[in-house]
Structure 1
Amino acid sequence: MATPVGWSQGASGSVCLAFDQLRDVIESQEELIHQLRNVMVLQDENFVSKEEFQAVEKKLVEEKAAHAKTKLLLVKEEEKLQFALGEVEVLSKQLEKEKLAFEKALSTVKSRALQESSKKDQLITKCNGRREARAPHHAYMHGLFPNSPVPVSRAGFHPNFCPRLRIQAGHGNEGSGWCTIFFTAIKERARSHFS
């Protein structure tokens, strides 16, 4: 190794030692600089500038205010919802009452209709019974005179009065009146048959 200018040859051993030490110091400083550069890169990646931080902080404050406003609106809407649910429950109960009242009224109407229908059927049966009780006389006469309508009793005349024949039965006894009508009808039929 060449001796640097200004150094004496006798001190070459100490010069080498000093040079080695200086070289070690430079290497360690370079290593330290390299580490500091790595730290700076990490800081750039993990940290933000003051301006960015302030902008983010401002945005966070705005979001917190919006969140509080939304929370207040949510509370109001929940109150409205609870009120609406209460109204729905009241209306449901009222509807159930009205449904029961309607079903009761419908049942009453059906019961009355059945009673009226039963009364009507009884009246029809009763009327038919009375007609049938009177029918033999009229049917008998109607059989003799098929083209004539069934005679209807009129006020003021005897029940055995026959408007077609213009014959009135005697007031004494019912049987003799019908006999007179019967024989007169036979005579009329025979006369029309042989003429």
Structure 2
Amino acid sequence: MRTVRVQPFDDLQLLSEQSDANLEKIAEYLNRNEIATSGQLAQYLAFCASLNIDEKVAKIFLNLVGFLGDWVTEQKGFEEAFASFEQAFFSGKPETLNVEIPWERTKNFVKTLEPYIVLRKRAQKTHVLSTLQKFNLTTEIRPIFDIHRVKVIENLYVTILSIEGTEGETLFFDLTEQELSKMQREIEFALQKIEALKGSLPRS
């Protein structure tokens, strides 16, 4: 059985105290901007500060949407996921605590954030998969001399592929012309598969 990482319920009260205009502006901002890096988070907090929204409140709203985003899976539609999230969210509420009214008001804005949740899921997958920071190809000539080292009897054309990962590590590969051509064919084939996959998906 799945559990929800429930925030303190008084956080809902803080959110419900925000004006409709401010909550709507936050929702609009999130639907236009993914927040996957510290820089993007800083921009989001600066935007909220421009609305005179406390940083704590801004983070509460972002975390609440993040919890919902984690709850949304590939097997569930947004509405179904939202309903099951809401049920699990309130399963841990003390009976003496009345947060239904603050939640009813807050959830109207949260439910408009489906575009942001899609952006967030895409960013998560992209940052997990993307380990290539940069790469470089350098071609050089390596002459082969005769036994007396006075005459070049053949030139080898070698391409050096350097790949730098996000962790700062760099790998080097010496590629012959034949290996480079094979890599080119594999890359072209991979791009063709991507285009085929794009064409097989329904247009949104």
TM range (shorter): under 0.3
Relative to total residues, which structure has the larger strand share, 1 or 2?
2
Relative to total residues, which structure has the larger helix share, 1 or 2?
1
Report the TM-score when normalising by structure 2: 0.18
Q: Which has the higher contact order (CA 8 A, sep 6+)?
A: 2
Task: Give the greater-gyration-radius structure (CA).
Answer: 1
